Copies of this chain bind each other. A is one copy, B any other.
């Protein structure tokens, strides 16, 4: 049985955080006898520099062959002014789409040790544990027609199409319901059905699926504007949130920031067969790249998600998560989550601390 991982460190802080995560992966692989092997590839700005495109064929081929992809972060000012169609983000969107990674899981968890880091009052966020399930290969991100055209009167007009079919909605809703079944049993589906037909169909489809196949899941619906409010007002009311690509992009970032420690949050993007791409929620942070100060824990926790969802190695996944908990208990902090009385450490030292805690 193949257990092949493709590692794409990417740009900015990508290489440093990935090197720390790779150390952890190596140790866990031996300790739990996982039989995993991995190779490296280029995605994003570094791929543009080497091959002229953000997702080179060789990377795509390797990604298709692999069972899982571990990604650092892509992009940076260096590539911000190049032609739109070959920007780093395009590589990210293309790999998601080519690998059919339609289910994006973004947990927003507040580690008790980091409760102070939140900009919200402790009583509002203590114990926060939300899972955002975002559809990732459809909606307005990929809808056609799209573009910028010139109207008869000479002015330009930009346009995009938001589009979802029942089958696309069902398969992502299923993921959300299944996940909720393993957690708090509640799903909140977020739409703007009072204005947009595409989300009216979303709401209907989710409702029907719940009624016919998930009688034990408690399903609620919320308009996206209200969801953006409720996340600020009382985020702990949520268990699993399921929504489309664009709303998921916005709400998952808002939810992540509620924790105040986005440097701690991993994510998974899965296809229908458990193949997945795993990456931290944060970006490539070009301003602190190469300084050995970035927080590698989100990438390390992405390794844990990979072991859980693609390789079904729950024990090893849990071991990594526990080890991360331990280093936090020890008071070790990278700069982004530093607070009074804690010990500030660099990227690699944080990685080593996790290795030791294992």
Chain A residues with a Cβ under 8 A of chain B: 84, 87, 89, 93, 119-121, 124, 140-141, 143, 146-148, 151, 155-167, 192, 194-202, 205, 224-226, 228-234, 246-247, 249-254, 256-258, 260, 262
Docked-complex contact A162 and B163, CB < 8 angstroms: no
Docked-complex contact B196 and A140, CB < 8 angstroms: yes
What is the predominant secondary structure among interface residues of chain A facing chain B? helix
Closest CB in chain B relative to A190 CB, distance in Å = 10
Say which residue of B147, B196, B257 sits within 8 Å of A197 (CB atoms): B147
Docked-complex contact B201 and A228, CB < 8 angstroms: no
Docked-complex contact A232 and B192, CB < 8 angstroms: no
Complex Cα gap A229–B256 (Å): 8
Residues of B within 8 A of A87 (CB): 194
Docked-complex contact A250 and B228, CB < 8 angstroms: yes
Complex Cα gap A58–B285 (Å): 57
Q: A119-B233, A224-B250, A228-B250 are in contact. Are A146 and B93 (CB under 8 A)?
A: no
Residues of B within 8 A of A198 (CB): 148, 158-160
Docked-complex contact A119 and B234, CB < 8 angstroms: yes
Docked-complex contact A196 and B160, CB < 8 angstroms: yes
Docked-complex contact B157 and A163, CB < 8 angstroms: yes
Complex Cα gap A69–B48 (Å): 54
Closest CB in chain B relative to A269 CB, distance in Å = 16
Interface centre among A146, A147, A148, A166 (most CB of B within 10 A): A166
Say which residue of B151, B159, B199 sits within 8 Å of A161 (CB atoms): B159
Closest CB in chain B relative to A345 CB, distance in Å = 23
Residues of B within 8 A of A229 (CB): 253-254, 256-257, 262
| Nearest-CB residue, chain B, relative to A118 | B121
Docked-complex contact A225 and B250, CB < 8 angstroms: yes
Interface centre among A124, A197, A231, A249 (most CB of B within 10 A): A197
| Nearest-CB residue, chain B, relative to A168 | B157
Closest CB in chain B relative to A135 CB, distance in Å = 13
The 9 tightest CB contacts between A and B, nearest first, are: A158-B201, A158-B198, A229-B257, A228-B254, A225-B253, A157-B165, A159-B163, A232-B257, A155-B166
| Nearest-CB residue, chain B, relative to A248 | B225
Residues of B within 8 A of A161 (CB): 159-162
Complex Cα gap A201–B121 (Å): 39
Residues of B within 8 A of A166 (CB): 155-157
Docked-complex contact A156 and B160, CB < 8 angstroms: no
Q: A160-B162, A162-B162, A229-B254 are in contact. List 15 more A-B contacts (CB 8 A).
A: A89-B194, A89-B195, A148-B198, A148-B201, A155-B165, A158-B196, A159-B162, A159-B198, A224-B249, A229-B257, A231-B254, A232-B254, A232-B257, A232-B258, A247-B250
